[in-house]
Amino acid sequence: MTAILPNPRYTIAPSGTRKNAPSLGGVSLGAAALPTDPLFYTTLELQNVVVGSRYRVTRASDGTELATGVAADTTVTLSSIPVYTNPMSVAINVRKASSDPYYKPFLTFASLVRTGASAYILQSVD
């Protein structure tokens, strides 16, 4: 069925569930969370990273990649990491082997909660 909406006006207002609830010409348009949506987003801090190292953060349970990049500083702050369970275990892989000095691959784990988490990266020279 085709609905004809005269003079449609589109508005977005906070709903009772803290989600934005758009309204179109008096008709509410809802957005429901899917079971696969993250519970929340949080911050993961990697400390003591050798500058130039490549890091990769994955969900420990299924290997889903959450973040990746090259460390520009000894502290790497990864914001907006999606968290699907509370707490959620993540695997942190850090490697630096493209230029001297070379480091052994480093793997550690962290538990992400609503307040985030930090991990100390202890790389050793290869």
Among 104, 113, 118, 122, binds another protein (CB under 8 A): 104
Give strand ranges (E) for the chain: 10-14, 20-24, 27-28, 40-47, 54-59, 65-70, 76-83, 88-96, 103-112, 117-120
Among 68, 80, 89, 118, binds another protein (CB under 8 A): 68
Among 31, 74, 79, 102, binds another protein (CB under 8 A): 102
Of the two residues 35 and 63, which places its CB atom closer to another protein in the complex? Answer: 63
For residue 23 the two structure tokens come to: 């309204």
Site for another protein, residues 18 to 37, rule: CB under 8 A? none
**CB neighbour list of residue 7: distance below 8 Å, 6 or more residues apart:** 25
Least distance to another protein from the beta carbon of 66, Å? 12
Say how far apart CA 38 and CA 35 lie, in whole Å.
8
Least distance to another protein from the beta carbon of 58, Å? 8
> What's the chain's Rg over C-alpha atoms?
21
User: Which residues bind to another protein, rule: CB under 8 A?
Assistant: 53-54, 56, 65, 68, 93, 95-98, 102, 104-105, 126
